[in-house]
Amino acid sequence: MSYYPYPQNPYQRPPESTGLSVASLVLGILSMLGFAIIILVPLAGVITGHLGYRREPNSRALSLAGLITSWIALVLAALLYAFLIWVIFWVPENFYEYSDYVYEDLNYS
């Protein structure tokens, strides 16, 4: 009596997609290159990074790299916006306040 081994399954599972993780990494790199001024680019990188980290366990390194770069760019963009708001609203007010003293000290007569 001879036993034959079971045949191998000719159908294999399709490879897991890494689309969200790659998108997160690309958006993170773009946001570090200067597109963080448009606040939606790093925000989209953070969202796709979190989705990719949860849904795609085989490509967690890509999504983690995208998350880190997107969060850094998001924080830098927020600091840049806060600095610009400070410059626009606070500096001109104080500039005119101190410039009066400079003009009073000058006597050309």
Over residues 63-82, mean pLDDT: 94
The whole-number pLDDT of residue 10 equals 76
CA 51 and chain centroid, separation: 14
The span from the CA of 77 to the CA of 46, in Å, is 14
**H or E stretch at 77:** helix 60-89
19-36 pLDDT per residue, tens: 999 999 999 999 999 887
Tell me the C-alpha to C-alpha distance, in Å, between residue 89 and each of 76, 83, 106: 20, 10, 28
Among residues 11, 40, 12, 13, the alpha carbon closest in space to that of 27 is found at 40
Residues 6+ apart with CB under 8 A from 38: none
**Highest mean pLDDT: which range of 36-40, 56-60, 95-99:** 56-60
The burial of 26, by beta-carbon neighbours within 10 Å (0-12 exposed, 13-18 middle, 19 or more buried), is given as middle
